[in-house]
Each structure stands twice: as structure tokens, then as C-alpha cells.
Structure 1
Amino acid sequence: MDYIADQGNFVPDHRGILPFLEDRRWQIRFFAIDLLGKCKEPAVEDALIKILEACNDHHEFLSICGALQKIGTAQSIPLLIEKTKHKDQWIRIGAYEALHVLGNQELLPIFIEGLKDRFYCSKHHAVIGVCKFDDGNYTDLVYKFVSKLTSYSRILEADETKPTDLIAGLSYLDRYIGDKGKMVKLLERITRVERDVFSETEKKFIEKYIENGHRVDQNKNPFNRNSQGTLLR
């Protein structure tokens, strides 16, 4: 499998990897899951869903969710919804993240419920889901969440190509609130904290947002479903 992994974007034959999902060594299983994230075959998704159903190890769960974000379909959604109620907070996090990647507007009630989760990282992915799929019906809820962001012990995203709750929230609110004064007040509130709570991507986003007169260029808004651009580059 080392040889396969070294082939970059090469899509491996999933049939030779699937048996390793049953290996007793967790390192081998994780390696197999990662490789299967390159294989958009129905049999792969079926196999990953089967493991996910009985999985209570959050490390393995998160690994599988990462693979499903790349190759999953609507078939994975019902089980992921079920897992948002799991007692393990990290399993809930993985489920919410996969859902905002694979989901659609029909999942808005799930994301709204996720904002009530006591664990910040679940809220993080839930609000991204709301901002991605809602059409302006939850501005008060998102505004309240963003205004409290700096009070959380935030885990800054290591992969800066991924959206964050701050960027999602500001982009969403900018599109639907239309009250510049309210947005200026919000930004002043979240940027006056002394400790460093923003990622480098978020800092650049805020700087550009202020330079543009407290406006997001909606043609480059990563949460605009009609957009071809992204502010995350």
C-alpha cells in the first residue's frame, strides 16, 4: 500500500484495498481508509458505511468521515444524521462536518439543532451548514453565534483551504442583513479581543472585508452557490 500511496493522484483499484479494512492493526486500517478516499466506487462507500454503523472509536470515525467527504453520496447521509446524536462529541463533530460537505437544504433542521450542541467544534460545522444552505432565514441566529465566537476556545483549522465558521458567518450575514452599521458593530466586537483567536486565512478575510468598505465580494463568496470563485485561496 505504500507504493499506491506514493502515486499521488493515481486512483488505486479498491478491490485490493478493501480487505485491509478488517486488519487488526489500526495503522493499516487507517491507511486503507485514506486510500479508499480516492476511489469513487459504490462498493467503497458501502464498505465504509458498514464500518461506520458500528464504529465507536472516534479516531477511526473521523478518518472514515474524511474519506466519505471525498467520495460519499446521499447514501451516507441518513447514518451521519444518526451519528449527530452520538454520546461521543468527536463523533458528532465528524458527522456534522461530513454533512455540510455532502448535504443540502433539507438538512437545515439538523444544522440548527447542532448549534445547540454543548461542544464548540460541533457548532463550528453546524453553522457552516446553515450558512451554506440557508437563504437568509436564520440571520439572527448566525449573528448571535458570530458575535460570541471569540468567547470559545477555538480550534483553528490546520487546512486553510477549508471554510471556517467566521468566514461562513460573515459572508452569510453580509449577503442577507443589508445593515452596514450592524455589520461594523459586529466586526468591532469580535476583533477587539487581545488574544489571537483567528487563523491567518481569517485575518486576511477580515482585512479584505474592511478594505472593501465592510462588504464581501459576492462574486468571490465561497458560500454563494452561484459563485465560481473563492476567498479561501
Structure 2
Amino acid sequence: AEAAEQGRPMAEIAAELEASYKQAIDALGVRSVDSFPRATEYIQPIIDLVSRLIEMTAAYEVEGDVYFDHTSAVGYGKLSGRRVEDALTGTRELAGAQRHPADFALWKSSTDDEPGWDSPWGRGRPGWHIECSAMSMAELGETFDIHGGGIDLLFPHHENEIAQSETATGKPYANIWMHNGLTRIKTKAASGEWQDEKMSKSLGNIRQIDDLLSEYAAETIRAFILSTHYRRPLDFSDEQLDNMA
């Protein structure tokens, strides 16, 4: 969407964001990682994984879209502890030929103005969950030690990663799951009361790390982040950072 709004190639914007991220973690003194996989470079492994699930009848294709059948996963919901019935309360209606609301997209057909790649099901793009499974298994193997992410990804993203990966391989996906708390910021509600709100781009309340680094030393920001247990929410305020300085 951002690429379309700016009239620029998607890869160009992605490269800028990746470079900015790497500069930020370097400035903060964070040790880097061995690999920065990009979903667009793993299209064939993604297609292969989707094809394997279809062959196992764990996924089904309808008019260019491919969905994972959640009933084919043993113990679906075991990571989050959610029952399918509870998780679906208040959810939207079926999308297209989706058989059940809990079934999720592995591959979506693309229109002419959307990113897309050729596949056995026509031109399309990967679903969100399958990208991570394919990249993780390509880089780390079918079973690896630690999988991390924000607590907001616990369900449905990580739950669906487990479902599709373990169904495809018959092996445990990750041995340990680590979920960090979210960064919160205080905002004033319409009632005039202050409330804690998740910091996110969609809410328009985000503070860029580049801006913070221009105001505070990297050591101050690191101390602030480490002042809270990684599983707990991190309450952001300039006052907190000032106290750390």
C-alpha cells in the first residue's frame, strides 16, 4: 500500500526500512544476526510447502486461493490455550470459498495491481503465516530451538505457524517460544482520562528510534528497555527516559 501511495517499487521501500533498522540496532549496540531472510526470496520454498500440504489434504485450493484446513492440525490451539470456538467469537464471515472461519490463507490470488508470483494455482502471493514457516525451516531446519515475537503474535500467527509446519513435517516446530510485552504510551481518551495504549504505526502514536537517538544516548535507551522484564509491557514516556539519563 505504501509503495502504491508513493509511486515507488516495493523493494526500494523495503530496502530503505531494512537499512534504517540495521543502523538503529548498530547504534544501540545490539548484536546482529547471521541472516536477514526476505519473503520475496523464498517464493519457491513457500510454494513447495503449500503444495506439500495440499498433497496431504491438509490444505485446499479454490479459484486461486489456498487455505489450510485447521482440523488437520493435531492440538490446534495448544500454544495459546485457545479453543477454536472461543477464538472465533465475533469474527467476520467466511472469506470466499473458505470452509471454516478458522481455516487460514496459505496463498492468495493477486490482481494486476498487487504484488504476485506465478504458482500452480495462478498468479498470487503468500499468506502471512506460511512465509515465516518456509523461511524458518529453510534457514534453521524443520525443528529449531527458540522462536520469538511480540505477545500480540501468539494468536493467530504463531499458532498457525505451528499448525502448518508440524502438519507438514510431523515434527515439533520450535522447542521454546519467547513472547515479549508490547510498548505502551499514555494517551488521553475522549472522556479526558489518560489510558495506556499500544504504541503502533496504525494508531499514529509511534516514536521513531532515530528520533530518540537524536535526543538520548544509546545507553540510556538500552537501560530503559532493560528496566522491565521482557514479557511485561514497557510503558514509554520521555519522563522515564529523562530519569534514566
Report the TM-score, using the length of structure 2 for normalisation.
Answer: 0.22
Q: Which has the higher helix share?
A: 1
Higher relative contact order (CA 8 A, sep 6+): 2
